[in-house]
A = this chain, B = another copy of it.
């Protein structure tokens, strides 16, 4: 099933001109007479001519599409970020091609291979929780392929990066718990190989240190899939509950960890904040409707998407290789509600 659209050739044949004349007339070149231009333009409008973007892509060696790789589209943080990405991209005339990893390194690899085999001009990526080996990204990057990292960045690749101040976000959240009088604060973090997990744990530790509370290793739980699967979270919570002294508050370091932790609490009949306080990273827009309304660290996801896309398009459209890279760090926002 196909449908044929008008081409320059159709116009040329109809008007008895050559294709290049038509092409130049359409682009309003000075070397085409006004009469011819008008003739061509009129006819083009009449038959509803639109240049074939694929032919242009082939000629110009650019597709005007950018790829986006995230863990899950159906995650408030990522969908908000994609919203921002789409807004800037459309503005600049770029298509947005979306892929998900579902936190699997293999899927990330395949997707990257697929996207990068020349149908996109650049890539926005927030790496999967399973990503340890970076060869696939390095190889692309070394060939000069434009890549911008957002949220879950990778330290040993020199390119633009956009993230929040993870350390500070975690620090603020933990300090808030300390100030509320909680004495035994645990943390649920994503996988240790992700820098955002390490930074958030570091912020947590710093807040404890400054408050002269000595952190215990057993109070820190890493989750391989960043909380995507509830049983992973349940396991961590079970381990925490067995500790003595028992934690009286938990700081959850990612969106899914936060909501799945709430689910586990609910299933176990643990009351927030009476039995256990909860503060976590989350970009859900329903936090104030939850029971209890959740104290969260919110990331400016939409803005992150916008900034990352701006940076990527700068790389894509730059004539000469870019050597100076930006590292943009946005502020998180602590929204205090009843859960703490």
Which A positions have Cβ atoms within 8 angstroms of B?
Answer: 1-3, 5, 50-55, 57-58, 61-63, 65, 72-76, 79-80, 82-83, 86, 90, 95-100, 111, 114-115, 117-119, 143-146, 259, 262-263, 266, 284-286, 288-293, 315-322
Given contacts A2-B62, A3-B143, A65-B95, list 14 more A-B pairs with CB under 8 A: A1-B317, A50-B118, A54-B57, A58-B58, A73-B79, A73-B86, A86-B100, A97-B97, A259-B285, A263-B288, A266-B288, A284-B286, A286-B286, A291-B292
Expressed in whole angstroms, the Cα–Cα distance for A1 and B146 within the complex equals: 8
Q: A144-B3, A266-B288 are in contact. Are A83 and B90 (CB under 8 A)?
A: no
| B74 near A1: Cβ-Cβ < 8 Å | no
Query: Which of B57, B63, B98, B315 is in CB contact (< 8 Å) with A82?
Result: B98
The one of B100, B114, B320 that contacts A1, using a Cβ cutoff of 8 Å = B320
Cα distance A291–B337 in the bound complex, in angstroms: 14
A52 CB contacts on chain B under 8 angstroms: 58, 118
> In the bound complex, how far is the Cα of B288 from the Cα of A195, in angstroms?
32
Instruction: Establish whether residues B288 and A290, one from each chain, have CB atoms under 8 Å apart when the complex forms.
Output: no
| Pair B65/A74 contact, Cβ less than 8 Å | no
Which B residues lie within 8 Å of A114 (CB)?
A: 90
Q: Which residue of B lies closest to A87 (CB)?
A: B100
B58, A54: Cβ atoms closer than 8 Å? yes
- Known contacts: A146-B1, A320-B1. The answer to whether A259 contacts B286 by CB under 8 A is yes
Whether B119 contacts A54 by the Cβ 8 Å rule is yes
In the complex, how many angstroms separate the beta carbon of A281 from the nearest chain B beta carbon?
Answer: 15
- Distance (whole angstroms) from the CB of A248 to the closest CB of chain B: 21
A266 contact from B54, B115, B285, B289, Cβ within 8 A: B289
A86 touches which of B54, B62, B76, B98 (Cβ 8 Å): B98
Answer whether A95 and B83 are a contact pair too, CB < 8 Å, given A54-B58, A262-B289, A284-B286. Answer: no
How far does the alpha carbon of A291 sit from the alpha carbon of B289 in the complex, in Å?
Answer: 6
> Judging by beta carbons under 8 Å apart, are A63 and B74 in contact?
no
Say whether B290 contacts A289, CB under 8 Å. Answer: yes
Provide the residues of chain B in CB contact with A316, threshold 8 Å.
1
- Nearest CB in chain B to that of A321: its residue: B1
Quick check: B1 and A315 within 8 Å, CB to CB? yes
B97 engages A65 (CB within 8 Å): yes
